[in-house]
Each structure stands twice: as structure tokens, then as C-alpha cells.
Structure 1
Amino acid sequence: MAAPTKCKDKVLTDVTIEKPVLEPTGALSVETVLSVKHWNEHLFSFRITRPASFRFRSGEFIMIGLKGDNGKPLLRAYSIASPAWDEEIEFLSIKVQDGPLTSKLQKIEPGDQIYLGRKPTGTLVTDALLPGKRLFMLSTGTGLAPFLSLPRDPDVYEFYEQVVVVHSVRRVSDLAFREEMEGKWAEDPLVSEQAAGQFHYVPTVTREEFPNNERIDKLVESGKLFEGIPGAAKFDPETDRIMMCGSMEMIKQFAAFFEEQGFTEGSNAAPGQFVIERAFVG
């Protein structure tokens, strides 16, 4: 065995820490972590293998997890950030130091194993909306995840003339996937041509200097949210369809706002003019 090496008062050895081996169940498959990207100290994304039999609609969520301290699967619901056609599955997550799952999840590395549920579901899907001309996806923080999936689905550009992702965060470094969206998914093999003329990205940063530095509601009130987007500088229940994901405060505020404007909430069973993910907000 090599001699220990001192580094900043910590002793490093070549001892390998064994990772827990996961076993699949009837409800869970075991997948492999392929890549991990840390955007900042409290935000990361990662990609895992996709089972050949796994099917989902862009915008849905699934249970994922690791082995808990009691040896049983420790699971949480995560929106899938990759489109339905992708051969891999991607997720976006915050880092919570004392979180039961995220305290462990933030330490994953390529090659590690992870649990993946077998039954995706959710209402942030085009099936839950009536036909329209403009699709607005309003998000805060990691609520962006399902809205990374939908704009990379070719069907979305067939259903809507304009596809808009609005993302509100506190700091510039929280704008995950900013480069890809500012580039209108130019590197995407399936939607780059359609997105070039139909996709719009509206980022806003509330606690640092940035071109947009107001909350989403203020951008709506001033009309700034609609700049550069064909159509009226306000939401119209006849033409606009809305999806929302993120903070409880934002969702409750806008759900009430849209209902006052004559919008109806949709579901998979009864499509409407706006949808939220009830599984996350209660």
C-alpha cells in the first residue's frame, strides 16, 4: 500500500470506498450515472442510462433515489429534464446539505448506481392543454427541469407557433442550461431548425445585475416578458397556454391570476388553458 499523503491537514490514502450495490425491484430499475455537472455550489444536473422499455411524455416526472441508511430505497419525485426521444435520462437538482436524499445525491459520480422508477406520470404535458398558438412555461429555480424537456420535443413546435421558457432565479449562476437556450437549441439534432424561429428564452435574475432583474409577475405587468414574442403583450385565454413549475408562491399567485383572466386549469382527463404539477404543490 502506498504511503499516506498529507494535503491541507487531511490524510489521503489509496483505499477505495465501496459504493452500495443496488438491487432492482418490481417498481424500480437500477441505472448507471453517466455524467454529472455542478453549475454552482447548490445546483447540479446529471444523466443516467435509460432502460430500453422506459417510455415517457416530455414534461413528466419519475421517482429516483439511492439506498437509504436503513438499507431501503430512499426516493423522491424528479421532473425529467431530457426529451422523450433521448437515449439517456437527465435530471436537474438542488443541493440540500441535510436533505435525506440530496445530501447523498449531490455526491454521485459517473459509474455510480441509482434507482429509477418504472412509471412516469405528470400533468406538465401537452396532452393536458387545449390547442393554442403560444405556449408559455413559467419556472423558478429547478422548476425549469420539465421545461428543458418540452422545448426539445419536435411535437411541441407542431402544436404551438411560439414556445417560450421563462426562468426566474436569484443569481446568474443559477441559470442552468442558459447557453443552450440562448442559442435556441442550435446543437439539438431534432428541433434546431424549428426552435430557431419559434423558441424564446426569457431569463430573469432578482439578486444580481442582469438585463432582466424583476420577478416574473413584474415582467408580465410591464409587458417586458412579451418583448420579441409575436402576439399581444399580455396573456390571452383564446391563444395562450401556460405551464408552471417552481416555488409554491409563484404557482399559487399565477394560478389565481390566470383564473381571474378567464383561464381554466387542465389535466390529463380534462385539458385546459393552464397546468401545474399537483404532485409537487398539493
Structure 2
Amino acid sequence: MTYQPIDRDQFTASTALTVETVRRVKHLSTGLFSFSISRPASFRFRSGEFVMVGLPKEGKPLLRAYSIASPAYADELEFLSIKLPHGPLTSRLQHLDLGDAVYLGKKPTGTLVTDALLPGRRLFLLSTGTGIAPFMSLVRDPDLYRQFTEIVLVHCVRHCADLAYRNLLEGQLATDPLVQDQALLQFHYVPTVTREAFRTQGRIATLIEDGRLFESVSGPRRFDPGCDRVMLCGSMAMIKDHASDLERRGFIEGSNAKPGQFVIERAFVG
């Protein structure tokens, strides 16, 4: 199913949605793409939050939650998506082109935000697949580098081509005018691949157990609830497994109402 345009003239502005314009589309691999859309002047969000994005279907909006990958100060909103040939929405989103229209929700929300974490020294952002998206917003937020001494972004994928944003992250965010100086000293990127040859191979759990996850940072070569904070985003199985592991290590899950030592996006897990 290909992209079907939104009739802007028939759109009702009183809904909880706005109609935005596609500014950029980038096909990263056979199964992965990103797209950027215009940002309403009134749209505000915290780094790490998600928002509803969609297209019309049978006269009604078909919406899905997408984490915002762009930094909070950007003029555009960027999203990362998989390509599902038979997915109700992704089968159509992957055919987006410049100038096309999409629906955007007006109320971003989520728990992958620093407000849900207690103060700490090391922050570990553990992601698989498109779960890296909210962390791309966070690592370009200047406030993050004032809150934590060291930030480690781990991205686990099956194939090298799925390491979205690899060049930017390997360059220590050197092209970002607001965080490039801090990132050079505080930011650590750990990409790992499970089904192809790569300098780091293995699942995140393996990197934790054998200590490779901690090679680039100071302090203990294990998770310490006294100084470490963790965010998880990826497949449901990955999140549940690592959340259970963290709880066994003495970590307490946080929320916007009650900050803790680790957080997950409950809206995506159920």
C-alpha cells in the first residue's frame, strides 16, 4: 500500500492533531528509514518523549506512537522507523516523499526523560533497533551533560547497516553546536552487532556480564545503583529482561511522579 495524501482542506483543526509537511526522508537500509517533518511553533517536548504520528485510513487518522529523535531545539521533528511490508502504517510511511502531509499529535509524553531519574554520575542508555530514537534526542540535550558526568549510549542491532546515526555518534556529536565540547569529554558510543562481523559483537546482556560495556567509562565494571542510572528502549523482550536484571541488582524503576534509578517506556511495553 502506497502513501495516500491528506486532504488539508477537509482537516478539522479542532482535533488533537495538526497536519505537518515532510521535509526529509532517508532510507538507511532495506528495513529502516527516517523522516523529518515541519514543527509547529507551539510544539514543545522534553528530550526522550514520544508523540502520535499517522496518516488517514478510511476517512480516519491511523496513528502510532513514535519517539522523537531530533533535539528539543530543532526546527524539524525527526522520527526513525522500521519498514513492515504489511504494517498498517509503516507500509505507507515508507513511501513518504518531500512535501507530503502527515498527522502529528499535539501532546508529546513519555517516561524516558531525566525528570524520571534520580541524580547520578553515569547514565547508560541501552537500546536495540529503532529504540535508539529517543536517545538521539537526549544525547543532543545540553542539560544531560550538566546532570551526568558520563553518558554511555549502547545500540544493539542484527546488521551493521541498521546502526542508525553511526557516523554522527562515532564523531562524538562533533557537528552539534550545543553539545560538541561536552560530548567530546563525556559521551561514549558502544555499537554492537549480533549477526555480522563487527568490532563489537554480542547482545547487551553479554556486554554487561563480560564487562565490555564499562571499558570506556571510569568507575566499577558493573552496574552500581549508587551512582548509575539506566534508560531502556527497544524490543519488549529486551526491556523486560534488562528491567528484571536491574531490579535484581537493587535498582528501582522511576516515573515522572516518583524518580528512580532506571526507566523504561511503559507505553511501548504495556
Please state which band the TM-score falls in when normalised by the shorter chain: over 0.9
Q: Which residue of 1 aligns with 2:61?
A: 73
Report the Cα distance in structure 1 between the residues aligned to 2:69 and 2:199, rounded to whole angstroms. 26
**In structure 2, what is the equivalent of residue 211 of structure 1?**
199
* 1:137-148 mapped onto 2 (5 Å cutoff): 137-148=125-136
Q: Are 2:37 and 1:37 equivalent residues in the alignment?
A: no
Quote the Cα distance in structure 1 between the aligned partners of 2:4 and 2:108: 31
Q: Give 1:196's aligned residue.
A: 184
**1:155 and 2:143 equivalent?**
yes
For residue 85 of structure 1, report the CA deviation from its aligned partner. 1.0
Q: Mark the runs of 5 or more structure 1 residues left unpaired by the alignment.
A: 1-16
Count residues with an aligned counterpart: 265
User: Residue 20 of structure 1: CA displacement?
Assistant: 3.4
Partner of 1:21: 7
Classify the secondary structure of the residue corresponding to 2:125.
strand
In the aligned structure 1, how far is the partner of 2:71 from the partner of 2:181? Answer: 16
Distance 1:34 1:72 in 2: 23
Instruction: Give the match for residue 122 of structure 1.
Output: 110
Q: For 1:42 and 1:25, how far apart are their aligned partners in 2?
A: 36
What stretches of structure 2 of length at least 5 have no aligned partner? none
Q: How does 1:98-137 map to 2 (within 5 A)?
A: 98-137=86-125
Q: Are residues 1:220 and 2:208 paired? A: yes
Normalised by the size of structure 2, how large is the TM-score?
0.96
Tell me the alpha carbon deviations over residues 196-250 of structure 1, each in whole angstroms, 9 at most, x when there is no partner. 0000000000000001111000000000011121221111000000000001111
Q: Please tell me whether residue 258 in structure 1 is matched to residue 243 in structure 2.
A: no
Partner Cα distance (2:91, 2:4) in 1: 18
- Alignment match of 1:183 (pick from 151, 167, 171): 171
Matched residue SS, 1:96: coil
Match of 2:78 in 1: 90
Displacement of 1:113 in angstroms is 0.3
| Matched-pair contact (CA < 8 Å) for 2:4–2:56 | no
**Which structure has the larger Rg?**
1
Structure 1 vs Structure 2: percent identity of aligned residues?
63
For 1:128 and 1:36, the matched residues in 2 are separated by 32
Aligned counterparts of 2:254 and 2:24: Cα–Cα separation in 1: 35
Of residues 245, 248, 266, the one that matches 2:233 is 245
Question: Is the contact made by 2:6 and 2:102 (CA closer than 8 Å) also made in structure 1?
Answer: no
Between stretches 154-163 and 247-256, larger displacement belongs to 247-256
